[in-house]
Amino acid sequence: MRVRPLALLLLAACVARGPAIVVRDAYGYQPVLGDVGAVYFTVENRAGTADTLTWAEVAGAGVAMIHEQVADGDRVVMRHVGTLPLPAHATVQLKPGRLHVMVEGFERSPLAGDTLLVTVHFARAGAVRVRAPVLAYGTEP
Amino acid sequence: MTAVRMTLALTAPLCLLAVACEARRAPSAGAPEAGGESAAREYPNPRPKPDFTLTDTEGRPFAFRQATAGSVTLLFFGYTNCPDVCPVHMANIASALHKLPDAVARQVTVVFITTDPERDTPARIRAWLDHFDPRFIGLTGSQAAVDSAQVAMHLPPAYKEDLGGGQYQVGHSAHVIAFTRDGLARFAFPFGTRQSEWAQEIPRLVAYPDQP
C-alpha cells in the first residue's frame, strides 16, 4: 500500500498533539485514622479551548469531593468546589493548603505504598484515569 | 517532663488581625524553598502565654500556662477530620523533631487543641496524635472552653461549615503559634512551613534569645 507523504505528516501531527487534557503527578495521603484522606494531582489543559473539571472519583471510596482551602481572614476553611474551570493552556495544581480531593467512605482504608485509581471527569475531554501512589503524611512528594 | 509534648488543642480559627499585623521574618538560612508562604512571622508585640485549662486525652485537667512552663511550646488548633492542613502540619513538625537531637526535641512541647470537640473524642484525638508522635499533647473541652482558648490567643473562634446531611467541616487557623521558653508567643508559622524549615527553626526557638 502506498502512503502519501501528506497523509503521513497529518498522522504525525495528530500523534504529536497528544491528549488535550493531561492529569499527572497524582498522589494521596494515607488516612490517619482510616476514614478521611486526600488526593492531589496536576491538570494540564494543552488544548486551545477551555474545559471544566466536573468531578472526580476514587475506586473503592464512596465519596470524593474537590475541596478548596479558602482563606477567611487568617483562618482557612474547606469549601466544596462544584466544578473547576480550566482555561485554554492552563495548568491547575491540586496541592496541600490549596485544592485537594477529600476522600471518604473507603471499602478498605488505603495504606502507604498502595495505589489509588482516580478518575477525573471533564466536560469536553471526558474521563481521564490516573494512578495515585499513597504516601504517609510527612512524606513530601 | 515528657520529651516532646504536643498539646493537641483542636482550635480552629487562627488569629486574623493579630497575625495580619505581624512582620514577616526572613528564613533563617539558605534560600527559601519552593512551596509558597513558608517563613515564620514574628509578633511585633510578643504575647504572654494564656492561662486556660482544658482536658487532656487522659481526661485530666491541663493548665496550659503552668503545664508548659519553661518549654518551647508549639500550639495548633485543628480537628481530626481535617484531611489537609492539620495532618500535614502535625506530620511535618513530628518529622522535624524526629530528626533533631533528643536534647533539642525534648525541650519542645507540642499541643493540639481540637476545634471540633463534638466529634473529636479524647480517644480519637489520642489515636490521631499517636500517628505522628505519642508525645504530642491533645486537649479538648466544651465548645465554649475551646472557643475561649482561641480568644485568649487573640484568634477568632473556629466555626462550622455545613456540608449538608449532618456533615460539617471546621474553619480554623492554619498557623502554628510558637512560644519561646520565656512564655511569650513570638512567632506564627503558616501552613506551608516545610520539614526542613522546622528543622532549622526549632533549634533557634530552643536557643532563643541566644539565637533570635
CA atoms A110, A116, A120, A126: torsion sign: negative
Q: Are A75 and B171 an interchain contact pair (Cβ–Cβ within 8 Å)?
A: yes
Q: Identify which of A80, A32, A82, A73 has the alpha carbon closest to the alpha carbon of residue B159.
A: A73
The span from the CA of B145 to the CA of A33, in Å, is: 25
Higher pLDDT, A9 or A123: A123
The pLDDT tens digits for A40-70 are 999 999 999 999 999 999 999 999 999 988 8
How far are the Cα atoms of A22, A84, A88, B105 from residue A91, in angstroms, in the given order?
A: 9, 11, 9, 40
Residue of chain B minimizing CA distance to A74 = B16
The span from the CA of B69 to the CA of B49, in Å, is: 9
Check if A111 contacts B (Cβ < 8 Å): no
pLDDT at A121 over 70: yes
The span from the CA of B163 to the CA of B186, in Å, is: 36
State the angle between helix axes of B85-99 and B195-207 in degrees (0 to 180), rounded to the nearest 10: 60
Which pLDDT value is given to residue B96?
A: 96
Instruction: Give the E-state strand segments of B4-158 in sequence order.
Output: 7-10, 23-24, 41-48, 53-56, 61-63, 72-78, 108-114, 137-140
Which pLDDT value is given to residue B22?
A: 34
The span from the CA of B45 to the CA of B60, in Å, is: 32
Which of B84, B120, B131 has the highest number of chain A CBs within 10 A, making it the mutation to test binding with A? B84
Ramachandran quadrant class, A61 (left: phi over 0; alpha: psi -120 to 50; beta: rest): beta
Largest CA distance in chain B: 53
Higher pLDDT, A9 or B60: B60
Q: Are B133 and B97 in contact (CB under 8 A)?
A: yes
B95 closest CB neighbour out of A73, A78, A138: A138
Q: What is the CA radius of gyration of chain A?
A: 18
Which pLDDT value is given to residue B3?
A: 43
Q: Which amino acid is at B146?
A: V
Residue of chain A minimizing CA distance to B21 = A74
Q: Identify which of B93, B108, B11, B1 has the alpha carbon closest to the alpha carbon of residue B54.
A: B11
Burial class from Cβ neighbours inside 10 Å (0-12, 13-18, 19+) for residue B49 reads buried
Q: What is the 3-state secondary structure (H, E, C) of A47-107?
A: CCCCEEEEEEEECCEEEEEEEEEEEECCEEEEEECCCEEECCCCEEECCCCCEEEEEEEEC
Q: Are B90 and A96 an interchain contact pair (Cβ–Cβ within 8 Å)?
A: no
For chain B, which residues make up each domain, given as ranges? Answer: 7-207
Higher pLDDT, B202 or A18: B202
Question: Tell me, what's the ipTM?
Answer: 0.81
Which pLDDT value is given to residue A135?
A: 96
Q: Identify which of A51, A58, A72, A74 has the alpha carbon closest to the alpha carbon of residue A132.
A: A58
CATH of domain A19-135: 2.60.40.1890
Report pTM.
0.82
Which pLDDT value is given to residue B207?
A: 94
Which pLDDT value is given to residue A16?
A: 54
Q: Identify which of A41, A40, A38, A100 has the alpha carbon closest to the alpha carbon of residue A69.
A: A100
**Which regions in chain B score pLDDT beneath 50?**
1-38
Which pLDDT value is given to residue A118?
A: 98
The span from the CA of A129 to the CA of A83, in Å, is: 18
Assign A17 a pLDDT band (cuts: 50, 70, 90).
low
Which CATH superfamily is B7-207 part of? Answer: Glutaredoxin (3.40.30.10)
For chain A, which residues make up each domain, given as ranges? Answer: 19-135
CA atoms A117, B191, B161, A54: torsion sign: negative
Q: Are B191 and A97 an interchain contact pair (Cβ–Cβ within 8 Å)?
A: yes
Q: Which three cell numbers stand for residue A127?
A: 474521563
